[in-house]
Amino acid sequence: MLPPSIQAAIERSRRIVELNDDWDSEGSPGYVQATLDITIEVLESIVEGILTSLRVSITTVDVQPGPDGSIDVEFVVGDRRLLLNVPGDSNDAVLYYGHGPDRRDPIEGEFVRTNHPRFLTEWLVT
């Protein structure tokens, strides 16, 4: 069971697929359900790993529209921040960037969207 704050963030994120092409008056493409679905799947996987660790608590999870039909997820866990960018193109990898306090201990890279990013959970809780 996900904490109420995470469930609320997921529910708020469902509005992203209502944004049509040119939603920002700058020509940005709209969002598709498949991108949101994988975003929520990855988010839940990371959150469940954090909750299982029992070492830290989740401070913030925020889901926002990203560039070019992608969706961004920001996690704040203790003094670590992690940003995921789930691309609108299902063939593209999920990008991630994170850092500890004062931007120390940076982590950056990508993973195939069908893989569960357990290594990111471990990074967040250490």
Q: Which tokens sit at 114?
A: 């069908």
The yes-or-no verdict on residue 7 having pLDDT over 80 is yes
pTM, rounded to two decimals: 0.91
Residue 6 is inside which H or E element, if any? helix 4-13
Q: How confident is the model at residue 52 (pLDDT cuts 50, 70, 90)?
A: confident
User: For 34-51, what is each residue's pLDDT tens digit?
Assistant: 999 999 999 999 998 888
Q: Does residue 9 come out as left (phi exceeding 0), alpha (psi in the -120 to 50 range) or beta?
A: alpha
